[in-house]
Amino acid sequence: MSLPILLGLRLLAAILLYAFVGYALYLMWRTLQAQSVRLMERGQTPIRIGMVAANGQETVLAFTQPEFFIGRESECELFIDDSTVSARHARLSFHHGHWWVEDTGSKNGTVLNETPLTIPTIITNGDTITCGNTTFSVLLPE
Amino acid sequence: MRFPYLTPSQIQARLLAIAVGFVLILSLTLTFSPAAREQTPDVAYRLNHWAGVLLWLAMVILAHWQIKKHLPDADPYLLPIASLLSGWGMVSIWRLTGEFGLRQSLWILVCYLFLIAALRRSEILDFLKKYKYIWLTSGLLLTALTFLLGINPGGYGPRLWLGCCGIYLQPSEPLKLLLIVYLAAYFAGKIPVTGRIWPLLLPTMLLTGLALAILVIQRDLGTASIFVFLYAAMVYHASAKRRILLLSALLLVGLGLVGYYFIEIIQYRLVTWFNPWLDPSGRSYQVIQSLLAVANGGLVGRGIGMGSPGVVPVAHSDFIFSAIAEETGLAGALALLALVGLLVTRSYLIALSAENHFERLLAAGLGAYLGAQSIVIIGGNLRLLPLTGVTLPFVSYGGSSLLTSFMALLLLLQISNGREQQDPAPLLRPAPYLLMPSLLGLGLFSLALAAGWWGFIRADDLLARYDNPRRTIADRFVARGALLDRRNALLSYSENSSGFYSRIYSYPNLSSIIGYTHSIYGQAGLEAQLDSYLRGQSGYPARQVWLQRLLTGYPPPGLDVRLSLDLTLQTRADQLFDGSKGAVVLLNAETGEVLVMASQPTFDANLLDEIGADLLAAPGSPLLNRATQGNYPAGTSLAPFLLAETYQQGLELPPFPASLLVEQDERLIRCTLRGEGAPDWVNALPAGCPRPLLTLGGALGDRLAEMAGKIGLQYTSGEAELLAIGQNARITPLAMAQAAASLGNDGLVPAAQLPLAVNIPGTGWVILPPQGQPRSAFSAEAANRAALALRAGENPYWESMGRFESRANPIIWYLGGTLPDWQGTPLAIVVALEADDPALAREIGRGLLEYAILGP
C-alpha cells in the first residue's frame, strides 16, 4: 500500500535533512580540528642566536617563543650589557612561515648583513645582525 | 594551501549531494501524496513540480562546478545551505499553488544564472565600495519611485512593487543590501572608531533616516524595523559600543508605542499580537490559522501534500514557515532554524577571516541581515513577535526576495574566497563578532521553543478549536460515523465517497436535537457532543488513532453511535405536535433513556447551505433545542411533586380551600383545566388550580424549597410561598420529565440518557456508561401514592397539568406517566406547549403516552 511507502519517504526526507545539518556541523568540526593540527605542525622554526663576547668566548642561545626582543633592558629576552645598545633595540618575530627582524627605534640602528634596517626583513641562516657594537649570527635549520 | 581533511569543493559537493537527495525525496513524496490525502490509490499523482525541481537540480550542479572553477577557496557551506533552502521553498510553493511554483522556479533559474555570471567578477566588491553613495541613492530613488508608480501584483494591499508585464520587483528588498554595503564601506574608512561617535554617525543617520521615512510612509513596517536593526548592527560591528544596541532597541519600542496610538496598522498588528484570541475570525485570522498549521504539524508533520497549509492566507510568502511546519512538523521546523543558524555562523566566520575592514563589516552585516529577517518573519508566524510582511530569505515566494538573498550569497562567496592565503585584517574589539551571532542564535533558539510550544504542548487544544478548518476538510475525506435510533434506523449519516463525503439527516424534524456538522456553520447538538466518536478520535485504541494520523493526517473512520430515541414514537410525537411551538420529552422512567425528544419549530439541517445564514435570527429560534435548553417557567404544574412531598412528610392533606383561583399582581391565575363536578383535591390538583396548590405549599412550609431542589427547579428566592404555583421558578422540559419519572420509578429521579452505545470495529456495540446516577427524590411509598392519586380516570397512567399565565408567552404543561403497578416499560412524559391551549397539550400528551403504552 502506498501509505507506508509515503511514510518511509517522509522519514527519509527528515533523515536527509538532519544528515545535512549534522554532516555540516561534523565537517565544520573536522575543519577546525584540521586547522589546529596544521597550525601545530606548521609551528615555528626554532632559532638560535650566536654571539661573540668581548673575551672571545662564543655563546649560542636557543629561543622557543615566537617573538623576542634584543636590548639593554633586563626584560628583553636577549639581554646585552652594551652601552651602544638601546633599551629595546630590535625585535625578532616568527610569522608567515619566516623569522623577521625589525628595528624598534634604536638610537644607533640595527644592521643586517652590513645593510641598515629600515623595514621588517626576513632573516635566513647565516645572516648577521649588528646592534651597536654587538654582532649576532642567526642559526636556522636549512 | 590545501585542507588536510577535505578540500572546500569536496565539502561543498558532499553537502550538495545530501541537499539534492532531500529535495528529490521531498518531490517524490509530493508526487504520491494525493493517494494519502484522498485515501485511495486511484488518484492523479502530482507531477508538474518536477519541471521546477529538475531545473533547480541543473542549476545547483552548474553553480557547484563554476564555484569549484572560479572560487575554489570560497566557503563551502554557503551554496549547499542556500540551495537546500531555495529547493525546499520552491517545492513547498509548488505544493501550494502551481502558478506561483512555476514563477518561483523561473526566479530560481534567474538567481542561479546571476550567481554563476557574477562569480568570476572579483572586482564586484571594489566596485560596490567605490560607488557606495551612488548605490544607496539609486536604491532610495527606486524605493521612492513606488510612491508614484508603485503597484501591487496581487491587485490590492500596499503598493510596494515596480515593474510591468508580469515581472515585478520590490525595491525595498535590495535596498537592505545596498544599506549594508554603504554602511560597511563608510565605516571601513573610519576604523578604528575613536573619540566622539556622533559626528561620525551623522551622515549615515541622515541616509538611514531617509530610507526609514520612505518605508514608514509606505507602511512597510517589517522592512523598516529590519532597517533599524541593521543600522544598529552595522554601527555596533564598527564601533563595538554596546549602547548602540540598547538605544536602537529603545527606539524600536518607542516607535512601536507611538505607532500604536497614531498609525492604524501598527495598532492592528500589536493588538493581534497581544491577544489574538479575541477576534479569531477577523483581525487575528492569519496568526491563528498559522498557529493551527504549526499545531497540525506535530512532531513529524503531516507529510508534504498531506496537510492543509493552503488555508493560511498568503502561505507561499509571509507564512511559508507555517506551511513547512505543518507538512514537515517540528522536525522540519527545527532543521530550518538550524540551517539559518548555520548560515549566520558561516557569515560571521567569513567576517572574522576577511582581509579588510570593508569585507569584514559587509560579511557580518549580511549575516545579521539573513538571520534577523528570518527571525522577524518566523517570529511573526509563531506569534513570538508582531506579524510583519517580510519574507523568509531563500525560501519565501518572490523574485525580489530571492534575488536579494542570492546577491548576499554571492558577496559572501566572494569575500570568503582566498581567505586562506591572506592574513585577516586586525580586529580591535572582538566583542561585536561574538555578541551579535549569540543574539541571533538566542533568537533562533526562542523560535525553536515557540515552535515546540504551539506544535507539541498546545497542539491538541489548538486543533480542537472550531475554527480549525482541518476538521471539516477531514470530514470530506473520512466517513463520519452515523447516528442511529434504538432500533438502528439511520438518523444522520455520511454518504458518497472519499473527497466528497456529505452529511445526510434522514429525519430532519430532529435537527434541533441532532444538530449538524457543517463546513461554515460548525457543529451543534449531538453532532457536536458526540463528535469525538463520530470523528473516530475516541473509541479506537490510542495507538491506532495515532498511527492513522501519522500515515494519512486524518483520524480513522468515524464510529456509529446508537441513540435511545425511538423513531416510531418520535414520528408520532412530531405528527401530534405539528405546527405548534414547544417541546415533548418521553422517557423510560426507570433507566432515563430518552425515547422521544421533540422541539418545535425546527429546521432542516440538510438545507443548511441555503438557510444557514438566516437561522440564527429566524422567528421561533429553530436552532434552540427547547427540550434541553428551553428554560420554561414552571407555573402551576408542580402538583405531582407537592403531593408526593406531602405524603413523604407524613402530613395529612389540609382542608380544601374555599376558592380555586389566585390573584397576583393584578393578574388572575386560573385552573388549567375546567374541573368536572364539585372541586376537591382529586380533581383540582391535576387541573393545576392555583389556590389548592398554594394551600398544599403552605402546609409544607420550609419543605417546599427542599422539594424544589430535589426535582431540579431553578428559582429565585424571595417570595418562597409563591413557589408552589411556580412563580419565579424555571425548569427545562427534560428536567421536568426526569422529575415526573420519579412517580413511576419508586421516587427515584433517573439520569437522562441519549447516546446508548457505540459500534467499535472488531468489538461490536459497546454500551456507553450512563451519564449520571439516579437520585432519590421521594420515598417509594410517597411517589406511588401521588401517582395513584393523580390517575387519569381508568387509564393505566397518571396525568397532571399546569399553566404559566402570560399575555405574551403563555406556557401549558402536561405531565404524565405510567402507574407504579404497570407491568410494561415504565414511562414518563412532559409536554411544554408555548400556547394557551390546554386541550391541545393534553391531546398531544395523552396521544403519545397511549401510543407508547398500547401501541398503534
Residue-wise pLDDT for B249-294, tens only, equals 998 888 888 888 887 778 888 888 888 888 777 788 888 999 999 9
Residue A1 has pLDDT above 60, yes or no: no
A95 closest CA partner among A44, A49, A40, A129: A44
Burial class (CB in 10 A: 0-12, 13-18, 19+), B537: middle
Distance CA(B633)–CA(B640), nearest Å, equals 16
Query: Mean pLDDT lowest for which of A5-14, A79-88, B3-12?
Result: B3-12
Cell 430532519 maps to which residue?
A: B508
pLDDT tier at B350 (50, 70, 90 boundaries)? very high
pLDDT at B420: 61
Name the residue with higher pLDDT: B628 or B256.
B628
pLDDT tier at B762 (50, 70, 90 boundaries)? confident
Beta-carbon contacts below 8 Å between A and B: 97
pLDDT at B154: 66
Handedness of CA B461, B462, B468, B472 (dihedral sign): negative
Query: Mean pLDDT lowest for which of A66-75, B216-225, B596-605?
Result: B216-225
The DSSP annotation for B472-508 comes to: HHHHHHSPPPPEE-TT--EEEEEES-TT--EEEESSG
Residue A7 has its nearest CB partner, among B26, B331, B550, at: B550
B224 closest CA partner among B243, B210, B234, B244: B210
Is the distance from CB of B63 to CB of B115 less than 8 angstroms? yes
Give the CA distances from residue B298 to residues B325, B328, B332, B338, in Å, rounded to whole numbers and listed in that order: 8, 9, 10, 18
Residue B156 has pLDDT above 70, yes or no: no
State how far residue A41 is from chain B, nearest Cα, in angstroms: 11
DSSP H helices, B189-242, are 198-217, 221-239
Residue A34 has its nearest CB partner, among B3, B15, B81, at: B3
The DSSP annotation for B149-188 comes to: H-B-TTSSS---BEEETTEEE-THHHHHHHHHHHHHHHHH
Which residues of chain B lie closer than 8 angstroms to A42, CB-CB? none
Handedness of CA B399, B404, B405, B410 (dihedral sign): positive
Which residues of chain B lie closer than 8 angstroms to A3, CB-CB? 35-36, 551-552
Residue A16 has its nearest CB partner, among B21, B77, B552, at: B21
Residue B365: all three cell numbers together: 552585516
Is the distance from CB of B212 to CB of B221 less than 8 angstroms? no
DSSP letter at A120 equals -
Average pLDDT over residues B55-84: 95
Average pLDDT over residues B152-180: 76
CB contact under 8 A, B21 and A14: no
Residue B4 has pLDDT above 60, yes or no: no
Residue B199 has pLDDT above 90, yes or no: no
Chain B residue with minimum CA distance to A10: B303
Is the distance from CB of B730 to CB of B633 less than 8 angstroms? yes
* Residues B379-404: tens digit of each pLDDT: 999 999 888 888 999 999 988 999 99
Highest average pLDDT, of A77-91, B252-266, B463-477, B748-762, comes from B748-762
A139 closest CA partner among A121, A122, A127: A127
CA angle, A73 then A76 then A78, to 5°: 110
pLDDT at A42: 66
Residue B422 has pLDDT above 70, yes or no: no
- Residues of chain B with pLDDT > 70, as a percent, come to 96
ipTM, 2 dp: 0.81
Which residues of chain B lie closer than 8 angstroms to A34, CB-CB? 3-5
Average pLDDT over residues B204-227: 82
Is the distance from CB of B772 to CB of B808 less than 8 angstroms? no
Residue A16 has its nearest CB partner, among B22, B304, B551, at: B22
First vs last Cα of chain A: how many Å apart? 73
Residue A34 has its nearest CB partner, among B4, B18, B29, at: B4
* Beta strands across the sheet bearing A98-103: A78-79, A67-71, A90-95, A98-103, A121-122
* Residues B479-493: tens digit of each pLDDT: 899 999 999 999 999
State how far residue A67 is from chain B, nearest Cα, in angstroms: 18
pLDDT tier at B676 (50, 70, 90 boundaries)? confident
Residue B41 has its nearest CB partner, among A2, A11, A19, at: A2
Cis peptide leading into residue B690 (ω within 30°): no
Residue B512: all three cell numbers together: 434541533
Handedness of CA B620, B625, B631, B635 (dihedral sign): positive
Instruction: List the 79-138 stretch of B: residues with Cβ below 8 A of A.
Output: 80-81, 84
Q: Output phi, psi for B582, to 5 deg.
A: 145, -160
Residue B81 has pLDDT above 90, yes or no: yes
Residue B812 has pLDDT above 50, yes or no: yes
State how far residue A7 is from chain B, nearest Cα, in angstroms: 6
* Residues A26-55: tens digit of each pLDDT: 999 988 888 787 777 766 678 888 887 767
Which residues of chain B lie closer than 8 angstroms to A11, CB-CB? 300
Tell me whether A15 touches chain B (CB under 8 Å): no
Mean pLDDT of chain B: 88
Residue B117 has pLDDT above 90, yes or no: yes
Average pLDDT over residues B501-505: 90
**Coil, strand or helix at B714:** strand
Name the residue with higher pLDDT: B719 or B524.
B524
Tell me whether A135 touches chain B (CB under 8 Å): no
* Chosen from A20, A25, A31 to mutate, greatest number of chain B CBs within 10 A: A20
Tell me whether B301 touches chain A (CB under 8 Å): yes
